[in-house]
Amino acid sequence: MQTRILGSTDLKLSVVGLGTWAIGGGEWAFGWGDQDDDQAIAAIKRAVDVGVNWIDTAAVYGLGKSETLVGKAIAELPIGDRPLIATKCGRTNAGDGQIGKSLQRASVIAECEASLKRLQVDCIDLYQMHWPQPDEEIEEGWETLVELKKQGKVRHIGVSNHDVSQLQRLQSIHPVASLQPPYSMISADVENEIMPFCGENKIGVVCYSPMGKGLLTGSFNVERARDLSEKDHRSRDPRFQSPQLEINLEFVTGLNDIAKSLSWTVAELSIAWVLRRPEVTSAIVGARRPEQIEQTAVAGTRVMSEDTTGEVQSLLNQRSEALASLDGIEQARV
């Protein structure tokens, strides 16, 4: 497994990180359907076995459930084997499975204390503001993260889903260690402005959904899309519905041909494509069962050539043309 330094910090991250959004289950607004807790814990332990040295989670994933499962898993590991932990604040439990938005000082402090308890740790390695919402509160939230860092409750502070103007506002208060944006072959807007800004300002990039929420694994099909549970937020995502679904699956068929020529899988190709960018420190790869992280962690050893990048770009151009031909279809960005 390759490793890279996160921005200007001292955190040396494996280029594949374990994402725990999905293990939060389906009992909240952005869930992924029902989840077996024992399988989730086993997946976390297996990730460490195969060389993943950091885990990304958030207080809102399952409204605390994901953090709780991460805490249980790492508590069962020898101290020397325990991974680095990144989590997030700014999303709260609004009741009935819904989520609230707050970056006010009292709320952020309460979230941090709750996360420390659920994770069973004394200090969070990377603490991030999950979304820049409400926008007028991002300075207050960021100042609170700086305070928590000074108190030793978090080691480094970063953000997720922020744009350049918001990063600049925060940078004037305290350096931003990292940005966590969505980034994949089918969600690459951050390449235009945000990534160059991060590179110039030594802000590490840890991207989420590098496999397009499962579309870019090579194992997704029309039947799986049709059978998505109502508890799985992807059932409401236009990319998983006709007519975008058929265009995306045709794109993946082309990726499969490229992957086979390299003796890779489509998932490995998708992750390697993300990691080709020098600004990217690590790709966050979700896993709900041990075999899933076994299949994707190997991507941390893959290096994409310029020729392969060109082949992928040709397919992306074809996909863009097909999507552009759709009239009146709103395309999902994340």
3-state secondary structure 188-205: CHHHCCHHHHHHHCCCEE
Residue 223, classified by CB atoms within 10 Å of its CB into exposed (0-12), middle (13-18) or buried (19+), is: exposed
Mean pLDDT of 146-153: 98
CATH of the domain at 51: 3.20.20.100
Residue bearing tokens 């939230």: 141
> For 233, phi and psi rounded to 5 degrees?
-60, -20
Note the pTM of the prediction, 2 decimals.
0.90
Would residue 47 count as lying in a domain? yes
DSSP structure class, residue 3:
E
List pLDDT tens digits, range 177-230: 999 999 999 999 999 999 999 999 999 999 999 998 888 988 888 888 888 888
Please give the sequence-ordered ranges of beta strands (E in DSSP) within 15-115, or none if there are none.
Answer: 16-19, 54-56, 84-89, 91-95, 98-101
Respond yes or no: is residue 208 known to be catalytic.
no
Would residue 87 count as lying in a domain? yes
pLDDT at 219: 83
pLDDT at 214: 85
Would residue 28 count as lying in a domain? yes
Would residue 241 count as lying in a domain? no
Task: Tell me what the pLDDT averaged over the chain comes to.
Answer: 93
Q: 45 falls in which pLDDT band (50, 70, 90)?
A: very high
Would residue 223 count as lying in a domain? no
Q: How many other CB atoms are found less than 10 A from the CB of residue 130?
A: 23
List pLDDT tens digits, range 272-295: 999 999 999 999 999 999 999 998
Domain containing 112: what range? 3-214+276-301
Which among 61, 127, 183, 208 is annotated as catalytic?
Answer: 61
Residue 41 has pLDDT above 80, yes or no: yes
Residues 331/244, Cβ–Cβ less than 8 Å: yes
Exposure letters 138-155 (e unless 16+ CB within 10 A, then b): beebbbbbbbbbeeebbb
Would residue 245 count as lying in a domain? no
DSSP structure class, residue 250:
H
In the chain, the percentage of residues whose pLDDT exceeds 70 is 98
Q: For 285, what's the count of Cα atoms within 13 Å in the CB-facing half-sphere? A: 34
Q: How many other CB atoms are found less than 10 A from the CB of residue 299?
A: 26
Number of domains in the chain: 1
Would residue 262 count as lying in a domain? no
Would residue 253 count as lying in a domain? no
Q: CA–CA separation, 95 vs 289, rounded Å?
A: 28
Q: CA–CA separation, 309 vs 94, rounded Å?
A: 44
- CA distances to 39, 128, 255, 300 from 261, rounded to whole Å, are 33, 39, 10, 19
> For 207, phi and psi rounded to 5 degrees?
-95, 145
